[in-house]
Every structure is written in structure tokens, then in C-alpha cells.
Structure 1
Amino acid sequence: MHIKPTLGSRAFDTANLIVLTLCAFITLFPFIYIMATSLAPLQQVLRGGVILWPEQVTWDAYTTIFSNAHFVRSLYTTFFITVVGTLTNLLFTTFMAYPLAKKRLKGRRIILFLVVFSILFSGGLIPSYMIVKSLGMINTVWSLIVPGAISAFNLIIMKNFFQSIPEELEEAARIDGCKNLGVLFRIVLPLSMPALATFTLFYAVGHWNQFFAAVIYVTKSNLWPIQVVLRQMIIEGSTQEFEQAMGELKIIPTTIKMAAIIVATVPILFVYPFLQKHFAKGVLLGSVKG
């Protein structure tokens, strides 16, 4: 039976729509402004003539940053860290979470206690730096991948997700002749796509936005990821490499800074549409069962 909405409910829905539209616009406005500024001529930006879209579109800022070898190299470094780091995270997290999901594993409670303990207490920055240095990873991209190979929080969620998969499916696979790895790759992982998609997004965004670890462990500018280079451009106003490219201009123009922000932001946004159908389900599954 169809119930006709009342005047009050229609007014409430309309008010919700207006408020949510305003919130969406407020959220998107900074991004739109940055994009408009990056596409505008420098003279128009300096006189404050850019709000939502420039009067004249020019790609000079993007041409400048992509012609700079230092910026392009940092972009390649970030892509490498994101792809290799995410695969490493998923591999190690899966291989540790799956056996911990089995109650028959000896020493399981002790290992889980240590995992939870690492969430509450950490060794600190100096011990972490000393470990990375002793392993010879200073000024290498591996210092941005290996120390964070496993997230303790994500590990617990993944373990809970594996526990929600019926044991009967694994037993049936073993009867058919599957070994432990066969059960994991043929039965468990295909059923775990929502969780894997969620953690892929979390890990990938974390690696793409890698900044603090790069500042601590990497001092060579040719190994900086894009976020560190962006920080040099925005906060310090220039970099040695861009000063050489700018010639007489000692401060990077605003249009180039905005173009760099767009280039550093947009690529990771394209990851979400491919994982969207699994994301909402993956965020919830495994989080309510201990």
C-alpha cells in the first residue's frame, strides 16, 4: 500500500536536500577553486579574478611541472611506493590474519595480545629510526614500505573477517584435496573480496599520502615522494630544482603550486570507483565478530 507523503515529510526531505547540497558544495569548493586557479593565466590569478572557473583556460602550469624532471621523478617514486607497498601490506596482512583466525593455532592468544599491545604502545620515533638505519634502509624507498608492512588494526579486522567464513567450506575443499594455501587462495580470498578491496583502498591512500616517514628516513631529494616535494613547493615557496627551471623567478607561481596539488590528489581518487561496490560491505564485515 502506497502511503502519500505528508506536507511535513516533504518539507523535511526538501530541507535535507538543500542542506546536503550546500554541504557538498562547501566540501568541493576548495578543490574546484584549486583546479580553476591551476588552469588560469598567472595575471588573472594575481588580480583575484578566479573564483569558480577562469576566464581563459591555459595548461602552462601543467606543462611546467611535467617538464620538471624532479617533480616527475617524485611522481614515479610515489607510484612505486603505492603499488609495491599496497601489495606488500595485503600479502603480509593476509598471511598473518588467516592462521590467527584459527582457534586451533598454538600460541594464538599470545600473538593477538602482542598485536593489540602494539596498537596501544609503540617503541617511539628514535627506536624506529635506529631499526631502519640498522637494516640499511635509510635513503631507500624500502624505508617507506617495510616498517609499515602490517597494520595491527587492519590485521585484527581481517582476522575477524576470516573467522566469519564458515569452516564447512574449508573442510569441503580439503576433502577435495586442497592444501592450506589452496584453501586460502581458492576459497577464502575469493570470498574476502569486500575486505581486500577495503584494505587495498586504505593502504593505497596511506602510501600515496606518505609524508612523515619520508621526511624522517629520506634525505636525498631525488628519492622524495610527491607529498614531500609538494610541501617544499607550498610551504617553502620553492625548491632548488624548480628555481633552476624558473630562471629569474625565485618563488614558484601560484598557478604551478595549484597544478602540483591537483596532480598529487587526482590519481588516488581514481582508485575508489574500481573498489566502490566492495567498499561499503567491506567496512562493516568483520568488525562486529570477535
Structure 2
Amino acid sequence: MVTVENVTRLDERLSKPTVRAVKDTRAYTAFRIVNATLLVVIAALTLYPFVNLAAQAFSSESYINAGQVNLWPQGFNLTTFDLVMSDRMFWRNYQNTVYYTVVATVVAMFLTTTFAYAISKYHLRGRTVFIGIAVFTMFFNGGLIPNYVLVNELGLRNSVWAIALPNAISVFNLLVMKSFFENFSTELEEAAEIDGLSTYGKLARIVLPLSKAVIATMVLFYAVSFWNSWFAAFLYMDHRELYPVTVYLRNLIAGATSVDGAAGSAEATQIAANVKAVTMLLTVLPIVCLYPFVQRYFVSGVMLGSVKQ
């Protein structure tokens, strides 16, 4: 018997979409298993040197020289850490590193962003020339002595500008940002022009707020580069108080290496055994702590500009 209730139930069944689960093929399932296994193996191989480095940093000299330190510290020892962390010069140089990295990264981002935005516009006169000049510097440079003479004549020695200005623009980062700006929505910029925004207004109020991914990626690239840099400071800084922590650690390693070749005390021998591990661990730790906060931008931003619309 056809009733109103039966008709309602039939109508409800017909109105609900039929959802069918799509099963993976055997080939795709095998691919996923192999892919996951390879990723786990690659991740383990990548992490192993860092874990071994951390284990050596906390191990005693006898176990390190015997090659018994693998993934876990043997003969837990903090002698080298105590030496480094108790030195006031270490903290002074660490403060210099933070200052140099922040200033140099801000300068580099400002110059790279403005330059990339300008050469991303096809109507810019001389655009090809500007791009050619930038690419030319990727393969040719003046050399060490001309750069030193130039920095010295400009009066930049013993200042943060000796580190920030000579390496202010990375051409690779410039080309990545240029490619991203070329794919930016022209409709948004045209609407902003209609609203009366100038070129600088469009860049500051429209383009940059929508470019967080690529900006975060470039900030990470520049910050890591300036944080790990030591040769520029070693070349242009004359006073220990102006050194970044990388130069401090470099001098510490050099001193420990010379002690290792002579008959020193037990403490000096311990320092020579794991000073490299301790210094590398102290240098890389801040970047490792910073990376998780920008990872979500880095993953999406590293591929920006690689695909044309």
C-alpha cells in the first residue's frame, strides 16, 4: 500500500547522495608503502649525524676517542659546555650574532622585495638589463681583495654594515620572489589603482599581506645564511667584542686543535675531544628551534613561482 509515510521515506532515500568509497589499486598501495619506507629511511639517515653530534657533545674524551659514542652519550660530561657557557665573551658574541642577523635580514628583505617587485613588471623600462645585471653577479664577482678594499674605503669595517650590505641581495632569492610577483593577481592591483593607491601603496597594503609564504621562506633563507656566516666578520672585524659567535667558536676550535697536538691537562684533552660537537650544537640549536614556527610557510612558499598559471 502506498502511503504518505512510504513516499516520504522513498523521497529521503533518493535525495541522499550515494557515497561509495574508492578503493586503492594494488599498485598504488604498493607505491605508498615503498614511498613511506623510503621517506622514513631518508629521515633516519638525515637525523643520524645530528643525533650523533649531540651524543658526542655530552660524552667524555675516552669514549669519543675509542669510537664508542653512537646515538647516546657515554660517560656524561659537561666540561666543554661549562667552559663555553661561563665565558662572558661567548654571550657578548652571541648577542652580536643576533643583532647582525636581525639587521642584515631586514636590510636584505627590504632590498630583495622591492627589487623583485620592480623587475616583475613587464612594462618596466630596462627590465631585461636589470635582470641581466643581477644574473651576471651569480657567476662573476670582484674577488676577495677588491671587496675588502671597497668595504675599507667606504668606512664599513668594524660595523654591522660590513656584514649586511655586501651580501644584501641573494640573486637566487631575488629570482624566486620575482617569479612569485609575476604570478600575482593583476586584478587585485588594478582594483587598488582604481581606489587610488600608488605603486608603494599596492606593494605595502595589497601585495605583501598576501605574500606571507614567500616572505617567510626568504626570511628563513637569509636568517640561516647570516647566522652561519663567519668569514665576513673574521675579515672586517678587528676587535673580539665585535665578533659573532661563529668566529668565537671557530677560534675555540682552532685553540683546542692546537692543544690536542700537545700534552695538555685532562680538562684540555676533554675540550679538544668534543669541542667541535659542542660548538656545532650551540650554533645550530637556535635555527632548529626557529624552524618549526616558519615550517608551514616554508613548505608552501618554497615551491611558489615554480608553476605558471
Q: TM-score range by the shorter chain?
A: 0.7 to 0.9
- Range moving further from structure 2, 146-155 or 59-68: 59-68
Calculate percent identity across the aligned residue pairs: 39
C-alpha contact (below 8 Å) 2:79/2:271 kept by paired residues: no
Q: Compared with structure 1, are the counterparts of its residues 250 and 130 closer, same or farther at alpha carbon in structure 2 (3 Å cutoff)? A: farther
- The residue that corresponds to 2:8 in the other structure is none
CA 1:18–1:152: 2 relative to 1, 3 Å:
closer
What does residue range 149-164 of structure 1 map to in structure 2 within 5 Å? Answer: 149-164=168-183
1:21 maps to a residue whose letter is V
- For residues 2-151 of structure 1, the aligned pairs below 5 Å read 2-3=22-23, 6=26, 14=33, 16-42=35-61, 44-45=63-64, 48-55=67-74, 57-151=76-170
Q: 1:15 offset after TM fit, Å? A: 5.1
Larger Rg, first or second structure (1 or 2) = 2
Correspondence list, 1:254-269, <5 A: 254-269=273-288
Q: 1:120 to 1:169 in 2, by over 3 A?
A: same
Q: Partner of 1:284: helix, strand, or coil?
A: coil
Whether the 8 Å CA contact 2:92–2:241 is kept in 1: the answer is yes
Tell whether the 8 Å contact from 1:232 to 1:238 is kept in structure 2 after alignment. Answer: no
Q: Deviations over 1:70-99 (max 9, x none)?
A: 222221121112111111111111122222
How far does residue 13 in structure 1 lie from its aligned partner after superposition? 5.1
Gaps of 5+ in 1: 241-245
- Larger displacement relative to structure 2 (22-31 or 180-189): 22-31
What RMSD in Å do the two structures reach over aligned CA positions?
Answer: 2.9
Alignment of 1:200-219 (within 5 A): 200-219=219-238
Say whether the 8 Å CA contact 1:101–1:162 is kept in structure 2.
yes
1:273 maps to 2:292: yes
What is the letter of the counterpart of residue 222 of structure 1? E
Summarize deviations over 1:213-239 as a string: whole Å, max 9, x none. 223323433322222222223344269
Residue 231 (structure 1) aligns with: 250
- So what's the TM-score if we normalise by structure 2? 0.80
- Matched length: 284
Give the deviation of 1:120 after TM superposition: 2.7
5+ unaligned residues in a row in structure 2: which ranges?
A: 1-20, 260-264
SS in 2 for 1:104: coil
Structure 1 residue 187: Cα displacement: 0.4
Are residues 17 and 111 of structure 1, via their aligned partners in 2, closer, same or farther at CA, if it must alter by over 3 Å? closer
Aligned-partner SS, 1:270 = helix
The TM-score, its normalising length taken from structure 1, stands at 0.84
The alpha carbon displacement at 1:68 in A equals 0.8
> CA deviation digits over 1:252-290, x for unaligned, max 9?
343444222211011012222122112232222224559
DSSP-derived class of the 2:222 partner: helix
Offset, 1:129? 1.2
Is the CA contact (8 Å cut-off) linking 1:64 and 1:256 kept in structure 2? no
Q: What residue in structure 2 maps to residue 243 of structure 1?
A: none
- Give, in whole Å, the separation in 1 of the partners of 2:269 and 2:239: 22
Paired residues of 1:238 and 1:252 also in contact (CA < 8 A) = no
Q: Is contact 1:233-1:239 (8 Å) kept?
A: no
Q: Tell whether the 8 Å contact from 1:144 to 1:214 is kept in structure 2 after alignment.
A: yes
Residues 179-212 of structure 1: CA deviation (Å, up to 9, x unaligned): 3222111100011112111111110111011023
Residues 14, 161 of structure 1: alpha-carbon distance in 2 compared, 3 angstrom cutoff: closer
Distance 1:84 1:190 in 2: 21
State how 1:167-182 maps to structure 2 within 5 Å.
167-182=186-201
Q: Which amino acid aligns with 2:54?
A: M
Tell me the amino acid that sits aligned with residue 254 of structure 1.
A
Could you tell which deviates more after superposition, 47-56 or 90-99?
A: 47-56
Question: In terms of mean alpha carbon deviation, does 105-114 or 65-74 score higher?
Answer: 105-114
Q: Aligned in 2, Cα 1:280/1:18: closer, same or farther, shift over 3 Å? A: closer
